[in-house]
Structure 1
Amino acid sequence: MKELHRTIRLLYKGQSQRARRFRYGLIAFDAVTILYFIGTAALPATDYMMAVNIGLGLLILLDLAARFWISENRRRELTRIYNIADLIVITSLVLGPLLAESLGFLRVLRGLRLIHAYHLLRDLRRESLFFRRHEDAILAAVNLFVFLFVTTSLVFVLAFEEESGLEGYIDALYFTVATLTTTGFGDITMTTPHGKLLAVLIMVVGVALFVQLARAIFQPSKIKYKCPECGLNRHEPDAIHCKHCGEPLKIETEGSD
């Protein structure tokens, strides 16, 4: 049992080529599950889809259990937002066949799987120099994508009949984007107080996320690297000294030709 624990720990936290490939495999799995949840959000539930959902739920549960097992602080692990989101998603996947009348609500819950993307970004920060160089822009894009998908799912559940299927989901996406960008074509509108409040939330948060993305794209690129002396955590990609205190830095670079 100790050997199995050590093997799993090395796979999740080791620096070997095998461990890196394993973590990239997890990233690919999470990307596929997220795309699957987006692609099936408006499709009618079938026996095959429910079987796939249960299988995905068990795989996500296995990954969560492994991370919990090797954690040095399991209580803290339980409070992490992406683990809480995973627990909710697992519950919605496994209990889906028993709660057929609530599938619309469960689709929104499955959108929380996107929160796990932030956990993946933490791994990419450690693994990829490209990610460290463009972290702000990537995080801003992920924030916008997460908000867009979760909000679209919520609009679809609140404002469209489940039988409307893919066409209704596209209308929900269209309304979300039109509201988020404050374009306001007015051909699809919310008529209930809850719907109007949701539209206000989409506009306020959406504009903020767009501004954040634009700023991250056009501002000078900096790398997140904490100075061991003063704690400044943003530096130029080619910096060799901290501009605040002068402490020598050892920022990983790809070198020059």
Structure 2
Amino acid sequence: MTSDQLRKTPDRTRAFRRFRAKLRALYHGESPQAVRFRLAVIGVDLALIAFFIAAPFLRDSRLFLPLDLAVAAILATDLAARALAWRTVKDWIRRPIVMVDLFVLLTLLLPTVLINLAFLRVLRIWTLFNSEFFWDTVGHRFDDTRWEDVIRAAATLITFVFVATGFVYTIYVGEDGGVSGYVDALYFTVTSLTTTGYGDIILPGVSGRLISIVIMIAGITLFVRFAQALFRPYKVRFACHVCGLMRHEPDAVHCKACGALLNIPNDEA
């Protein structure tokens, strides 16, 4: 290494550290500028999700591939920035939500190789509404409340519907059974999930019956979870220091599992 390189290296290192500190302030800070930045990022995320949902209808358009590559560039930039804003890239990449996002990015970077897995891009719905990034920015008012449970359950249910629809469309479109387009696949998924089963669209073969059973069982389970989050009596999240029980009545003074004294914070004076 030359003397010029030795003089430049510390400057570049300091500049890179300042850059990471700036990203950390934007992605994790509480300043008005950071909040506005995160709201803009969430807006872009919602636009990407809308593109993923509409992709089956746009696939035959000449603009689809350029849009696909543009979305890949946007998502890659965002994920790289989030990685640099985290404590360490190694810790960041180990998170399950990040692994799902990286897989979504991979389907965008290799559209021809992973074309049959493109329907899994809608998993971005689940990763967005289950991320700390979303709840620290938009959902902080509803964090640890009934509405957090409702939104998370709804996001999981919607994600399942579109993943199942994409799978049915990818595997069975054009086959005997009546799935001639994406709307037919969506219609079949919803009728199976609700156990309505009109019978006008039936997946052929043993594999089709097994997939229908999976959709019905998983869909009903997720729907029941959503209904429970919406209608069941609300319980606050507060870990008991003795037994670790997480859910308690809002006005609980003692843990119902072990009887330990609780000190649940609230907004009352």
Aligned equivalent of 1:179: 192
- State percent identity of aligned pairs: 33
Q: 1:108 Cα deviation (Å)?
A: 1.4
Aligned equivalent of 1:208: 221
Inter-partner Cα distance in structure 2 for 1:60 and 1:120: 15
Deviations 1:54-81 (A, max 9, x none): 1111111111111222322433322222
Deviations 1:95-140 (A, max 9, x none): 22xx28x63x143132232232244366316752235321222211
Q: Do residues 170 (structure 1) and 183 (structure 2) align? A: yes
Partner secondary structure for residue 42 of structure 1: helix
Q: 1:14 Cα deviation (Å)?
A: 1.1
Partner secondary structure for residue 135 of structure 2: helix
Higher relative contact order (CA 8 A, sep 6+): 1
Partner secondary structure for residue 41 of structure 1: helix
CA contact (8 A) 1:140 1:216 kept: yes
Q: 1:230 Cα deviation (Å)?
A: 5.8
2:172 aligned to 159, 162, 168, which one? Answer: 159
CA contact (8 A) 1:115 1:146 kept: yes
Structure with the greater alpha carbon radius of gyration = 2
CA contact (8 A) 2:254 2:260 kept: yes
Inter-partner Cα distance in structure 2 for 1:215 and 1:144: 13
Please provide the CA RMSD for this pair. Answer: 2.8
Inter-partner Cα distance in structure 2 for 1:92 and 1:176: 23
Aligned equivalent of 1:8: 23
Aligned equivalent of 2:162: 149
1:74 aligned to 67, 89, 112, which one? Answer: 89
Inter-partner Cα distance in structure 2 for 1:211 and 1:15: 36
Using a 3 Å threshold, how does the CA distance of structure 1 residues 224 and 125 change in structure 2: closer, same or farther?
Answer: farther
Inter-partner Cα distance in structure 1 for 2:36 and 2:248: 29
Using a 3 Å threshold, how does the CA distance of structure 1 residues 12 and 125 change in structure 2: closer, same or farther?
Answer: closer
Using a 3 Å threshold, how does the CA distance of structure 1 residues 12 and 235 change in structure 2: closer, same or farther?
Answer: farther
Q: 1:38 Cα deviation (Å)?
A: 0.5
2:205 aligned to 170, 192, 195, which one? Answer: 192
CA contact (8 A) 2:120 2:166 kept: no
Aligned equivalent of 1:41: 56
Aligned equivalent of 1:115: 126
Using a 3 Å threshold, how does the CA distance of structure 1 residues 2 and 122 change in structure 2: closer, same or farther?
Answer: closer
Could you tell me which runs of 5 or more consecutive residues in structure 2 were left unpaired when the two chains were aligned. 1-15
| 1:95-106 superposed matches below 5 A | 95-96=110-111, 99=112, 103=115, 105-106=116-117
CA contact (8 A) 2:193 2:215 kept: yes
Could you tell me which runs of 5 or more consecutive residues in structure 1 were left unpaired when the two chains were aligned. none
Q: Do residues 129 (structure 1) and 141 (structure 2) align? A: yes
Aligned length: 246
Q: 1:16 Cα deviation (Å)?
A: 1.5
Using a 3 Å threshold, how does the CA distance of structure 1 residues 192 and 28 change in structure 2: closer, same or farther?
Answer: same
Q: TM-score normalised to the size of structure 2?
A: 0.80
Partner secondary structure for residue 48 of structure 2: helix
Inter-partner Cα distance in structure 1 for 2:94 and 2:245: 28
CA contact (8 A) 1:108 1:150 kept: yes
CA contact (8 A) 1:27 1:120 kept: no
2:231 aligned to 212, 218, 231, which one? Answer: 218
Q: Do residues 60 (structure 1) and 71 (structure 2) align? A: no
* Amino acid paired to 1:148: V
* Amino acid paired to 2:223: F
Inter-partner Cα distance in structure 1 for 2:144 and 2:231: 16
